[in-house]
């Protein structure tokens, strides 16, 4: 089962955060599309008890991509993965990641009160 099937009952905004997370896995962690799909799917399965929509939004796409990479690809636990993100200055998105997120989350969200129709 791919990750999109696992989150079919999630809100549209949460699914969009996960789509952007998949993009960031490819962009910042050199994953192929198929690999990023598999990593995200495994992450959502392995941490199903821990990862919910609130956590996904709290972490947002850039940090979530790093957490997926370090927990699933590198085999670290949540705590160590977060330490690695901080130690390697990967916990704050670069400006281009903010731009991508803004373009692919806020600007395409029809219910977003911050955009004009």
> Model confidence over 75-96: pLDDT tens digits?
999 899 999 999 999 989 999 9
Domain enclosing residue 58, as ranges: 3-106
Count, residues in the chain: 117
> Model confidence over 59-75: pLDDT tens digits?
999 999 999 999 999 99
pLDDT attached to residue 113: 53
115 belongs to a structural domain: no
116 belongs to a structural domain: no
Structure-token pair, residue 91: 């916990």
pTM tops 0.85, yes or no: yes
Structure-token pair, residue 5: 């099937």
| pLDDT, the chain, mean | 91
51 belongs to a structural domain: yes
């Amino acid at each position: 089962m791919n990750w999109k099937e696992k989150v079919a009952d999630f809100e549209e905004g949460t699914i969009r955060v996960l789509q952007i997370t998949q993009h960031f896995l490819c962009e910042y962690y050199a994953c192929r599309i198929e690999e990023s799909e598999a990593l995200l799917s495994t992450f959502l399965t392995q941490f199903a008890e821990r990862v919910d929509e609130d956590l996904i939004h709290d972490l947002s796409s850039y940090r979530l991509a790093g957490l997926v990479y370090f927990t699933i690809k590198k085999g670290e636990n949540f705590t160590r993965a977060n330490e690695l993100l901080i130690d390697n200055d990967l916990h704050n998105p670069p400006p281009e990641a903010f731009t991508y997120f803004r373009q692919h989350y806020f600007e395409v969200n029809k219910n977003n009160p911050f955009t004009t129709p």
